[in-house]
Amino acid sequence: MIKDILSDAEHRMSKVESILVSDFASLRAGRATPALLDKLTVDYYGTDTPVNQMANISCPEPRLIVIQPWDKSTVAAIEKAILKSDLGMTPNSDGTLIRLTVPQLTEETRRDLVKQCSKKTEESKVAVRNIRRDVNDSIKKLEKGKEVSEDEVKKGLDDAQKLTDKFIKRLDEIFANKEKEIMQV
């Protein structure tokens, strides 16, 4: 029973980790990547549609993103969505392709991005700790119901703490790598 609770907790904690990784991928770190456009949606015939579902997105150069819509009539709508977004980039279009030049980040912008990353990392840590709290509550309920022994409870609580520590350490490593990437000139 305790093993099931712990394996469920590990699964939930790994989801928190993957969400943090995807959030970090969509942050602009001075380098072009198609992931920058993951959260960008375009009004396509009355439906909000992600850009990556209506166009090919590539990065032929380190500072250039090229968007090639499958339907040429959507070029204007994609440009409008990019201008409305918080990407901080201006699209250049020739009617069939949209080119986005990723600007060089200033020192101040880099620090702000690191602060955003730090905040997201802290939120992820809180989520992991909340999962640990849920696990501890579940284990203590089993003890009150006399379903498991005191020793099993103690071992389960220790395992939950070790699991939490492992994921907190991994979140810190992910943050450190992203910080290094952002601060790199």
Q: Which CATH number belongs to the domain containing residue 68 in this structure? A: 3.30.1360.40
Tens of pLDDT along 131-153? 999 999 998 888 888 888 888 88
Q: Which CATH number belongs to the domain containing residue 7 in this structure? A: 1.10.132.20
Q: Are residues 126 and 93 in the same domain?
A: no
Structure tokens at 181: 């990437």
Q: pLDDT-based confidence at 27, cuts 50/70/90?
A: confident
Domain boundary among 52, 80, 101: 101
Determine the average pLDDT of the residues in 151-168: 91
Give the residue from 94, 100, 105 showing the smallest Cα distance to 33: 100
Instruction: Output the average pLDDT for the chain.
Output: 87
Distance (Å, rounded) from C-alpha 131 to C-alpha 178? 24
Determine the average pLDDT of the residues in 14-26: 87
pLDDT of residue 123: 93
Q: Are residues 91 and 135 in the same domain?
A: no
Q: Are residues 126 and 162 in the same domain?
A: yes
Number of C-beta neighbours around residue 105 at 10 A: 20
Give one DSSP letter per residue of the chain, joined into a string: -HHHHHHHHHHHHHHHHHHHHHHHHTS--SS--GGGGTT-EEEETTEEEEGGGTEEEEEEETTEEEEEESSGGGHHHHHHHHHHSSS---EEE-SS-EEEE-PPPPHHHHHHHHHHHHHHHHHHHHHHHHHHHHHHHHHHHHHHTTSS-HHHHHHHHHHHHHHHHHHHHHHHHHHHHHHHHHH--
Q: Which domain holds residue 178?
A: 2-25+106-183
Q: Are residues 86 and 112 in the same domain?
A: no
**Pair 102, 30: CB distance under 8 Å:** yes
Q: Are residues 110 and 178 in the same domain?
A: yes
Q: Are residues 54 and 81 in the same domain?
A: yes
pLDDT of residue 30: 66
Tens of pLDDT along 82-127? 888 877 788 888 888 889 888 777 888 888 888 989 999 999 999 9
Burial of 173 (0-12, 13-18, 19+ CB in 10 A): exposed
Q: pLDDT-based confidence at 170, cuts 50/70/90?
A: very high
Tens of pLDDT along 34-88? 877 878 888 888 888 888 888 898 888 888 889 999 888 888 888 888 888 877 7
pTM of the model: 0.72
Number of C-beta neighbours around residue 89 at 10 A: 19
Q: Kindly tell me if the per-residue pLDDT of 185 is higher than 70.
A: no
